[in-house]
Structure 1
Amino acid sequence: MPPPPPAAARSRGRCSALSFAAARDRCFSHRFRRAGLRPLAVPLPGPGPDPDPDPNPATTVHMWVPAGPPPRNPLLLLHGFGASATWQWAPYLRALIAAGFDPIVPDLVFFGASCTRLPDRSDAFQASAIKAAMDAIGVPRFGLVGVSYGGFVGHRMAAMFPEAVDRVALVCAGVCLEEKDLAEGLFPVAGVGEAAALLVPRRPEEVRRLVRLTFVRPPLIMPSCFLWDYIRVMGSDHIQEKTELLYALINGRQLCTLPKLTQPTLIIWGEQDRVFPMELAHRLNRHLEGNSRLVVIKNAGHAVNIEKPKEVCRNIIEFFKEPVAGAANADDKV
């Protein structure tokens, strides 16, 4: 991270005695434990027929799993770019558990405590790593919810492992974007490099820009000292690797090569999404050819999972509880 300008450095120094981001991170972890989940680091071997000769695993997936008996109704929750999984899924735990689901919440590779020393940065690698972790904890079949980048990984996982993924919910996941869309002005950025700068912010002004793009009603006041603290605690790790994830995701992407899912799929979108505009929601709904349902949530943007957690959670619960035939193609607004 580049050094802050003098004024920001002084402001940051005044706030360093008490880290709001670290305290909030501990609070979210506590909420997960109170909900009956426990943290688990799942080591995965390197590729090839021979066991990994290195005593350190090639890849480690950190995940929150039910602390009790094996899950009977597992629901895999995949986060998007930003902080670790606990920050994005904490508001959903109580309602999902009360509805009879067993949430399993991993950190994707290079987020939270998940990492790899392998060079692959593709969404297929992420999908394979999470699937291997699910196998390791003894969960062969599950429902899946993916938000934004987690939706890219979830879509790829559902296509790669249809025998494991029962149903899919994709929240503001622009999986139908094409690289040419950036140059044609569909997004607020004109290239992959600018997208990486937007989604992997390194300075307070970059965080403010991201928040204003993703929220319909962003906070009016975002003090630099708090933003520096957030970047230091939650956003300063694996910056290069996260940038590489975005390049691998977008470079050469074409709709004609995108797999069609066989599972019933729920698409949830914020009506005022400025990161992945509504065009991508309708494009995905058409691409799935009647095997999906689109729910548009009003007065919400790309961060619909944070702005409207009750509405998003209600739609997720209803979708995963309804009969398979209920996932017919429709457009709903909430």
Structure 2
Amino acid sequence: MLLPSMLPKISKYFSFTASKDWFYRHSFSMAGLRSVATNLGEGTTMHCWVPKIHYPCKPSLVLIHGFGANAMWQYSEHLRHFITHFNVYVPDLIFFGESFTSRPERTEKFQAQCLMKLMEAHGVHRMRLVGISYGGFVGYSVASQFPDAVDRLVLCCTGVCLEENDMEDGLFRVSSLDEASSILLPQTPDKLRELMKLSHVKPIRGVPSYFLADFIQVMCSNYVEEKRGLIEAILKGRQLSNLPKITQPTLIVWGEQDQIFPLELGYRLKGHIGENAQIVVIKNAGHAVNLEKPKEFTRHLKSFLIDTQSMTPSSQLTLKEQIQKTFAFSK
């Protein structure tokens, strides 16, 4: 029998986070995706989960993660709902997961350009995009820079309409860029607990420090300075008047009690985009609405993204049928 007192000793030799990451990799593979690293040139490589079989009759869906763990952890609960309707692509943004660059750019504009190169390398020229938090900044930039490539866009808790003076004016729970970076890039268990409290309405309590330290070691210890640069680039000189307007149909999803990007920014974004945008506010949810309310989150995404009238019978394969086809293809 495994006693609680034995867990800290076991954690020295066994990583719970790495084991869960392996489980996610296995589940993504079983869902019909494969892990691919693509060299984009000029010192830039992007990793992405791509379909083992690309079905021309299906539209393509790109799921873009935010800050935190890699893309698998943020979309694992939702993947199965979309895999039968779309060719699904789940990339790691630059400096997350297995993606990196030696170039100095840190803006979401650069991230969007890299993402577009990645999609073109996989033969995808038109897509539907979902972006969570920072991923929404990138998704918005893709939609504005490459309007013909994006036909629908979902922005989840994405403070793309923030302005640099919002922090000085007290809109956020943090008062400085350094404080924001220390929370969004936690390097101690206490900072990770603080992030959990800010991003969840009902954060899990009583998590032992060795579990949190293990998560930080596996998920939060790489490219820390580079990620600080990404946060700084989001805020520096940002003004709503300089934000391009997009014309694609857009769904804005927000947690009612978001403490990282307050709901005010969601309504500001709706007003900026105009009649092409609709907003959904999910009650009893914070910034991590995709994790706190996965069923409700998925329901709104499916309603907006899936056009059942345009789906042919051959594209509506069950997950079991897709897996069987994938294994048959690989034999």
TM-score of the superposed pair, with normalisation by structure 1:
0.88
Partner of residue 211 from structure 1, selected from 196, 202, 205: 196
Question: Where do residues 26-65 of structure 1 align in structure 2 (5 Å cutoff)?
Answer: 26-46=22-42, 58-65=43-50
Partner of residue 54 from structure 2, selected from 69, 72, 77: 69
2:285 aligned with 1:289: no
In the TM superposition, residue 238 of structure 1 has moved relative to its aligned partner by 0.3
**1:139 matched residue in structure 2:** 124
- Post-superposition CA distance 1:291-314 (Å, at most 9, x none): 100000011000001111111111
**1:50 matched residue in structure 2:** none
Mapped contact 1:12–1:229 kept (Cα < 8 A)? no
Change (3 A) 1:39 1:272: same
Q: Distance in 1 between matches of 2:116 and 2:259?
A: 31
Partner of residue 69 from structure 2, selected from 65, 83, 101: 83
Question: Where do residues 84-233 of structure 1 align in structure 2 (5 Å cutoff)?
Answer: 84-98=70-84, 100-233=85-218
**1:304 matched residue in structure 2:** 289
SS in 2 for 1:144: strand
SS in 2 for 1:110: coil
Q: Distance in 2 between matches of 1:18 and 1:249?
A: 37
In the TM superposition, residue 12 of structure 1 has moved relative to its aligned partner by 5.9
**1:25 matched residue in structure 2:** 21
**2:223 matched residue in structure 1:** 238
SS in 1 for 2:77: helix
Q: CA RMSD in A?
A: 1.4
In the TM superposition, residue 102 of structure 1 has moved relative to its aligned partner by 2.0
Q: Distance in 2 between matches of 1:130 and 1:266?
A: 21
SS in 1 for 2:252: strand
Q: Distance in 1 between matches of 2:71 and 2:25?
A: 10
The structure 1 segments of at least 4 consecutive aligned residues displaced by more than 3 Å after TM superposition are: 10-14
SS in 1 for 2:26: helix
Mapped contact 2:54–2:87 kept (Cα < 8 A)? no
Letter matched to residue 166 of structure 1: D
Q: Distance in 1 between matches of 2:151 and 2:116?
A: 13
In the TM superposition, residue 157 of structure 1 has moved relative to its aligned partner by 0.7
Mapped contact 1:212–1:218 kept (Cα < 8 A)? yes
Aligned length: 302
Structure 2: runs of 5+ lacking an equivalent: 1-5, 309-331
- Post-superposition CA distance 1:20-64 (Å, at most 9, x none): 000000011111001000000111012xxxxxxxxxxx1000000
Q: Distance in 2 between matches of 1:119 and 1:13?
A: 41
- Post-superposition CA distance 1:233-272 (Å, at most 9, x none): 1110000000011001111111110111110100000011
TM-score of the superposed pair, with normalisation by structure 2:
0.89
SS in 2 for 1:170: strand
Mapped contact 1:75–1:104 kept (Cα < 8 A)? yes
SS in 2 for 1:174: coil
Letter matched to residue 129 of structure 2: L
Mapped contact 2:260–2:287 kept (Cα < 8 A)? yes
Mapped contact 2:55–2:87 kept (Cα < 8 A)? no
Fraction of identical pairs, as percent? 49
Q: Distance in 2 between matches of 1:229 and 1:21?
A: 6
